[in-house]
Each structure stands twice: as structure tokens, then as C-alpha cells.
Chains A and B, each alone.
Chain A
Amino acid sequence: MALRVLVVDDEEDFLRSIVMRIELRGYEAHGVTSGDEALQYLRANPQSVDVVLLDIKMPGMGGLETLREIKSCCPSIEVIVVTGHASQEFSRRGRELGAFDYLIKPIRLEVILERIEAAHRHHRGADADE
């Protein structure tokens, strides 16, 4: 089964392009432009997402808040932070809240996909351990 990715980013050009590109590479991808939408989507389709690509600076609910909510409602979903706001503080707090990785935009799609695969492998490994 293809990996299912949810992209959360308020920058629509970025969001549309990356969703299409991910899909072109054989994954399932869905894009939303805010944290609220992301949670709405996840609550509606709790089993339909493997990995979330999450922006940090967004209007409305911020990325870290969204991350916390995702982790509390759906702990099995891996979250990779992809943001233009590189800061050690965000990075540290992201990891504390359970983010799998912290990537700084702009970044090559190949790197993102590699991290998505790694996150998924990690997740499956964790499942196997249970």
C-alpha cells in the first residue's frame, strides 16, 4: 500500500506543488492550509495518514500546537516539521513534542521523501517492537 502523506502549509503555491510532486512519485498525498484543517482531516480520517509534513509558522493554530494535538489524537502518525523558520528552540521543542525530524525550507523533494521513508520505517519498527 502506498504511503499516505498529509502536508500542512499556509503557503498555497508550495502546498499545491509539493502535494502534486509527492503524488507523481507514487505516494498518496493530501494538502491542508492550517492546523485546524489538519486536525479536522485527521479526526475525520484517523487511519488515512502515515506521515504529516508540518509547517511551524502558520496563522491560527501554530505548528507546535498542531503537533501536540496530532500526537495526542493520533500517536501513531509520524510528523516531520518542514519550515522556513530554522531555530534551535523550535527544533528542540518539536523533538520534545514527538516530531520525527526537523527540516529547513527550501529543501529538495528527494530529501523530504527520504525522511518520509525513514519515518515510516521507524514507525513500523516501533510497531514491530510492540
Chain B
Amino acid sequence: MEARYEQLFRRMALTGLAVALIPLYLVGVAIYVYFASTQEQNQRAQLQNLAVSRTSAVQLFLDERIGMLEALAETADVGTLTRPGELAKILEILNRRQHSFVDLGIIDAAGDHLAYHGPYALEDRNYGSEPWFEEAMLRGVHVSDVFLGFRRVPHFVIAVRRDDRPNPWVLRATIDSEVFTRLVRSGQVGLTGDAYIVNRQGLYQTPPRFGGEILGAAPFGTSIAPPGVNVVSRRTTDGRRILTAFAWLTTKDWLLVIDRDPTEPAAPLREARRIELAALLIASLLVGGAVVFHTRQLVARLADEDRSRVAAEAQLAHSARLVSLGRMAAGVAHEINNPLAAIGELAGLMEDLIDDQFLASSQHAKLFQENVRKIQQHVDRTRGITHRMLGFARRMEPHQDTVNVNDIVNEALSFIEREASFRQVELIRQLDADLPMIKSDRAQLQQVFLNLLNNALDAVAEGGRIMVTSRAVAESVMVMVEDNGSGIPEELHDRIFDPFFTTKAPGEGSGLGLSICHTIMKGLGGSLSFDSAPGEGTVFRVRLPRTPV
């Protein structure tokens, strides 16, 4: 295909692909975005539920521990509790179902230990000025924030007051932070999810999984969390977008925080993306294939039509040229005919006037007579030329007349005879004398034969041979023009009738001759075909319908 058709193809195919695929991709993206947003909404809902259930669990944990200690403080008397080994036994009972208490202590109103059981040597400590002790004495029950205390280890305590008169006392227990941390962390989701507690001041009460340690400051203030359970979207310090559930506990002003990466778990989204990409790929291939295929066909048809149109225009122009050439030839012939007729008649008269007396009168008289005859012969010859020119002119007008194909072949041959003899090319006629007359266009047939003969003449070398054969077969009249020239290479066979295809040097052949012949023969209801063997020669076959005259 020519470059401009290739360009047209590219432009049309690209437009077609854009029109077909862009909406497809937009729909694909929309579906994906919708799916992803639904996914995030689901995650938010899940996170909300998780936060509610984890808050309840933590709340329950604390309430149960408070309840246990309250029951103990209310039912046992201080005398019993402070007996040696008593606290150890109680601690063992309390931890029997679940190990959650680290130590137990009974502290009097002055802050001194009446009894203590636990892994630390705290019996001699005075808690009189400890904030948690003051809170417990004041309010009856207190859950402390996490602090280092005398043991220099982060922990928190639950303290309940027993109002014995006149000596109230406080039952204090340290909660196993490992157990508590594990409970809080049960709210973690996925590989990057986190769950921890911060106090109102924003200090970690349980260690976060990433980017912080216990008692360290969280990167957000607790003021961003309204009361109740809320899910918000926020950015981490390293810029990742995450979903976070904030849930305030009711027993204690602690904030349970559950972080979650919305892109995790990615499996459903990944699956959706994979299915969608596969669907888009298949659809793109189908649509792309169809667009490319149809555009290719369309452009090929366009190119074909363009070529036929160009060929038709060229033929029209060619015919117009021939018509004007014919008019010119006729004009020239007319102009020549009149003086030629005068020359002929003058010479004829001279011949008529030669008599025996004249012949006897001069030794040159015989030569004179001979020359007069020669003048007449040349007049006859020139008449042949002008009559042929007139015939040519006449034939340029479209016609349907009764023709003897042999005559037309002979006329066409007469045009190339001179050049053939000049180049010593042998012209052989094998014309069927009994060829039937047919109805056809004389001028167009002449053009076809002349073209074929000219091509043959171009194809053969000096001393070559051109044979023209005519014969009648069943429903046709056939004329074969055969040469023993170089032949047509196999690879050119398909293109030989294409307009503008020529093997002649630039400027020597228009490449229209055979194309026009082919078109003419189709127009006359016949056909033009050929056989060629490289190195041996070519035969062109003109088939004409044997129309009744």
C-alpha cells in the first residue's frame, strides 16, 4: 500500500481504536474505582464493628478485674487478708482462670503496706503521695494510667477502697501488662494493622506495633477523637493513608486505637483488578482486531476505488488526447489530400500526353515517362498514409460497427511495419481467412492491437519475431500476439494490468497501455489474457464475443 493509504489507515485505525477503547477503559476504571470505594466502605464498617467489640472486650476485662477486687475488699476483713500467706493464696485463686494479676497489696490510710504479695520488694514502700493512691482513697475505685512507679517498670494498677472505720484501707493489684497488651492487640488486622491504647494525654498505654513504645507520645492528640466509636481516614507520619477507629472506654479515659491499611487485605481488590484487566485485555484484543481488520479492508477498498478512478480518468484523458490527435491527423490529411490530388492529376495528364512521337523525340523521353509513373506511385503511397490517418481519426469516435477483425489487425500491423523492418523484426501473419464478421468498436480494437504490437516490438530484440494469429473458436474470435522476447517475470504477472505499472524507463511508458487494453476488452464484452515464459516470450490473447452481425 502506498504511504498515504498507510497514513490514512493509521489515522482511521487510531481513531477507531480510541472511540472503541477509551469508553471501554473509562467504564473499566469506573468499575474499579466503585469496587475499591465499596471495598473501603466495607472496611470502615468492619473496622467500626471491630472497634466496638474490642472496646467491649477491654471494658469487660477491666470491669471484671474491678469487680473481683471489689468483691474481695467488701467480703474479707483486713485481719484475714494481712495474715501471712493469705494474699499469695488469693492471688493464686484470682489467676487460676486467667493469669492477669501480677501482685496484690493491702495499704492502710497512711499509704503503708499492711501486706504485699508479688515479685517486687515493695513491702516497705509508702504510697501516701502517689496519685493513684490519692484517687483511690478519694473515689473508692481507681484504674491508674500506666506508670513506672517504684519498680521502674511500666504497669498500671487497679485500686479499691474498703471503708473500715476508723481505719480504711486500699486493696491494690497490678495488672499483667503482657496479658492486657495481648488483649488490646487482638484488635490488630493484617500485616500492617495496629491496635493500642493511649491515655487522654496521648501517651501509649500499650505498646504500638510500629513507630513508638509504651509511655511514648502518639503522633496525634486525643482531641481528634470525639466521644463514642469513630472511624476516620488519616495519614501516618510517613505519609501513608490509613483508616483508624477511635473508641473511648467508659470505665477509664483511655482511647482504644485500631489502625488499618485500607489497601490491606488486598486480595479481593487484587482479584477484582486481575479479572478486570483480563476482561479489558480480551475486549481490547477483540475490539482492536476488529477495528484493524475492518479499517484495513476499508482502506484497501478505498485504494482500489481510487486506483480505478485514476485509471478511468487516465483513460478518459488518453481518449481525449487520441481524439484531439485524431482531429489533428484529419486536418493534416485534408490539407495534404488536395495538393496531392493535383499532383496526381498533373502527373496523370503528363502520362496521358506522352505518345510515340514524344518517345521518339528524345533519348530522355523514356526516363521522363518512367518518372511520371513514379510520381503517381508516390502519390498513391502518400494517399495510403493520409487515408490511414483519416481512418485513425474516424475511429477515435466510439462506434459499434460490423468489423472484420483481420482488417483491423492488418491496419494495426501497417502502423508498425516500418519500424519492424527497420529493426529486422519478422512479422508473421496467420490470419484465418474465414473469420466471421462481428459487431465491435473498430477504433478501440485498433487501439488494443496497436498497443499489444508496440509492446511486442519493445520486447523483442533485433532479429526477433512477432506472430499474429486470428481464429474463430466456439463463441469467440481470438487474436493472439506472440513474441519471442524476454518474457515477463513471474512476480510481475499479477501487476501487469495495473494502471501506471510499467517496466519501461521513466518517460518511455505511461504504464497505462495494458491497463487501458484490459478495460477496453472488458467493455467490449471480451477479455485480454497472457502467458509468458521468461526468456522464451509472451503471448497475449484477445478474445472477442462472436456477436451476430
In whole angstroms, how far apart are the Cα atoms of A57 and B341 in the complex?
14
A-B contact pairs, 8 of them (CB 8 A): A13-B342, A13-B345, A17-B345, A21-B352, A84-B333, A87-B394, A104-B387, A106-B382
Residue in contact with B348 in the complex, picked from A11, A17, A87, A104, CB distance below 8 Å: A17
A-chain residues with CB within 8 Å of residue B343 when the two chains form the complex: 106
Cβ of A2 < 8 Å from any Cβ of B? no
Q: Which of A1-55 contact B (CB under 8 A)?
A: 11, 13-14, 17-18, 20-21, 24
Are A85 and B334 neighbours in the complex by a CB distance under 8 Å?
yes
Q: How far in angstroms is the closest Cβ of chain B from A106?
A: 4
Q: Which 10 A-B pairs have the closest CB atoms?
A: A84-B337, A105-B341, A17-B345, A106-B341, A14-B342, A13-B342, A84-B338, A106-B344, A17-B349, A86-B390
B-chain residues with CB within 8 Å of residue A17 when the two chains form the complex: 342, 345-346, 348-349
Are A105 and B352 neighbours in the complex by a CB distance under 8 Å?
no
Q: How far in angstroms is the closest Cβ of chain B from A7?
A: 10
A-chain residues with CB within 8 Å of residue B340 when the two chains form the complex: 84, 105-106
Residue in contact with A11 in the complex, picked from B330, B341, B349, CB distance below 8 Å: B341
Looking at B333, B344, B380, which has the most chain A CB atoms within 10 Å of its CB?
A: B344
Cβ of A107 < 8 Å from any Cβ of B? yes
Are B337 and A85 neighbours in the complex by a CB distance under 8 Å?
yes
Interface size on A, residues (CB 8 A): 21
In whole angstroms, how far apart are the Cα atoms of A81 and B177 in the complex?
138
In whole angstroms, how far apart are the Cα atoms of A29 and B475 in the complex?
54
Cβ of A118 < 8 Å from any Cβ of B? no
In whole angstroms, how far apart are the Cα atoms of A83 and B334 in the complex?
9
Q: How far in angstroms is the closest Cβ of chain B from A92?
A: 12
Q: Which of B317-365 contact A (CB under 8 A)?
A: 330, 333-346, 348-349, 352
Are A86 and B341 neighbours in the complex by a CB distance under 8 Å?
no
Cβ of A109 < 8 Å from any Cβ of B? yes
In whole angstroms, how far apart are the Cα atoms of A106 and B344 in the complex?
7
In whole angstroms, how far apart are the Cα atoms of A18 and B387 in the complex?
21
In whole angstroms, how far apart are the Cα atoms of A97 and B382 in the complex?
31
Binding site for B on A (CB under 8 A): 11, 13-14, 17-18, 20-21, 24, 57, 83-88, 104-109
Tell me what chain B mostly uses at the interface: helix, strand, loop, or mixed.
helix
In whole angstroms, how far apart are the Cα atoms of A85 and B339 in the complex?
12
In whole angstroms, how far apart are the Cα atoms of A107 and B337 in the complex?
10
In whole angstroms, how far apart are the Cα atoms of A106 and B348 in the complex?
12
* Known contacts A14-B338, A84-B338, A85-B334: A109-B345 contact under CB 8 Å: yes
Cβ of B379 < 8 Å from any Cβ of A? yes
Binding site for A on B (CB under 8 A): 330, 333-346, 348-349, 352, 379-380, 382-383, 387, 390, 394
Instruction: Count CB-based A-B contacts (< 8 Å).
Output: 72
B-chain residues with CB within 8 Å of residue A86 when the two chains form the complex: 330, 333-334, 337, 387, 390, 394
Are A105 and B330 neighbours in the complex by a CB distance under 8 Å?
no
A-chain residues with CB within 8 Å of residue B379 when the two chains form the complex: 106
Residue in contact with A87 in the complex, picked from B330, B346, B352, B383, CB distance below 8 Å: B330
Q: How far in angstroms is the closest Cβ of chain A from B318?
A: 22
Are A105 and B394 neighbours in the complex by a CB distance under 8 Å?
no
In whole angstroms, how far apart are the Cα atoms of A106 and B352 in the complex?
17
* Known contacts A11-B341, A14-B342: A109-B348 contact under CB 8 Å: yes
Q: How far in angstroms is the closest Cβ of chain A from B480?
A: 31
Are A14 and B341 neighbours in the complex by a CB distance under 8 Å?
yes
Q: How far in angstroms is the closest Cβ of chain A from B400?
A: 14
Are A88 and B352 neighbours in the complex by a CB distance under 8 Å?
no
Closest residue on chain A to residue B350 by CB atoms: A17
Are A88 and B337 neighbours in the complex by a CB distance under 8 Å?
no
B-chain residues with CB within 8 Å of residue A85 when the two chains form the complex: 334, 337
Are B341 and A21 neighbours in the complex by a CB distance under 8 Å?
no
Looking at B335, B346, B379, B387, which has the most chain A CB atoms within 10 Å of its CB?
A: B346
Are A21 and B383 neighbours in the complex by a CB distance under 8 Å?
no
Closest residue on chain A to residue B335 by CB atoms: A84
A-chain residues with CB within 8 Å of residue B336 when the two chains form the complex: 84
Are A106 and B337 neighbours in the complex by a CB distance under 8 Å?
yes
* Known contacts A105-B338, A105-B340, A106-B379: A13-B390 contact under CB 8 Å: no
In whole angstroms, how far apart are the Cα atoms of A18 and B346 in the complex?
8
Closest residue on chain B to residue A14 by CB atoms: B342
Are A106 and B383 neighbours in the complex by a CB distance under 8 Å?
yes
Closest residue on chain B to residue A12 by CB atoms: B342
* Known contacts A13-B342, A86-B387: A21-B337 contact under CB 8 Å: no
Are A84 and B345 neighbours in the complex by a CB distance under 8 Å?
no
In whole angstroms, how far apart are the Cα atoms of A14 and B343 in the complex?
7
* Known contacts A86-B390, A87-B330: A105-B346 contact under CB 8 Å: no
In whole angstroms, how far apart are the Cα atoms of A105 and B380 in the complex?
10
In whole angstroms, how far apart are the Cα atoms of A85 and B335 in the complex?
8
In whole angstroms, how far apart are the Cα atoms of A106 and B382 in the complex?
9
In whole angstroms, how far apart are the Cα atoms of A21 and B334 in the complex?
24
Are A18 and B345 neighbours in the complex by a CB distance under 8 Å?
yes
Are A104 and B345 neighbours in the complex by a CB distance under 8 Å?
no
Closest residue on chain B to residue A13 by CB atoms: B342
* Known contacts A85-B334, A88-B394, A105-B341: A13-B387 contact under CB 8 Å: no
Looking at B333, B343, B346, B349, which has the most chain A CB atoms within 10 Å of its CB?
A: B349
In whole angstroms, how far apart are the Cα atoms of A21 and B336 in the complex?
22
Q: How far in angstroms is the closest Cβ of chain A from B391?
A: 9
Q: How far in angstroms is the closest Cβ of chain A from B342?
A: 4
In whole angstroms, how far apart are the Cα atoms of A83 and B386 in the complex?
13
Closest residue on chain A to residue B343 by CB atoms: A106
B-chain residues with CB within 8 Å of residue A109 when the two chains form the complex: 345, 348
In whole angstroms, how far apart are the Cα atoms of A17 and B375 in the complex?
15
Given contacts A11-B339, A14-B346, A86-B330, 9 further A-B contacts (CB under 8 A): A11-B342, A14-B341, A17-B345, A86-B394, A105-B341, A106-B337, A106-B344, A106-B380, A107-B383
Q: How far in angstroms is the closest Cβ of chain A from B491?
A: 46
In whole angstroms, how far apart are the Cα atoms of A95 and B341 in the complex?
22
B-chain residues with CB within 8 Å of residue A20 when the two chains form the complex: 349, 352
Q: How far in angstroms is the closest Cβ of chain B from A109?
A: 6
Are A104 and B337 neighbours in the complex by a CB distance under 8 Å?
yes
A-chain residues with CB within 8 Å of residue B345 when the two chains form the complex: 13-14, 17-18, 21, 106, 109
Closest residue on chain A to residue B331 by CB atoms: A85
